[in-house]
Amino acid sequence: MAELKWRDMAVLATSGRDEADHTKRMAARVPNLDIISQRLFERVNGRWPITKKGRALLEALRFD
């Protein structure tokens, strides 16, 4: 949490109900999601870049 920037928090705080609902719908599609143990992100030099596997999951969840 310490690595989150204030502007990132501001975006989350002001994104509104539609964004919260959208996030809940996405989460319901992957009920057993664990981004660390499933290696969707990895820690590299103090950062958490998304992996190819994580990007593929996001593409599969994308609403058109």
pLDDT of residue 64: 44
pTM beyond cutoff 0.75: no
The identity of residue 4, as a single letter, is: L
Domain boundaries, the chain: 6-61
Residue 44 CA to residue 41 CA, distance in Å, equals 9
Q: Per-residue pLDDT for 14 more than 80?
A: no
pLDDT of residue 6: 66
More confident residue, 1 or 14: 14
| % residues pLDDT > 90 (the chain) | 12
33-to-36, 46, 54 alpha-carbon distances in Å: 9, 22, 11
Kindly report, residue by residue over 40-57, the tens digit of the pLDDT. 999 889 888 999 999 998
Q: How does residue 9 score in pLDDT terms, banded at 50, 70 and 90?
A: low
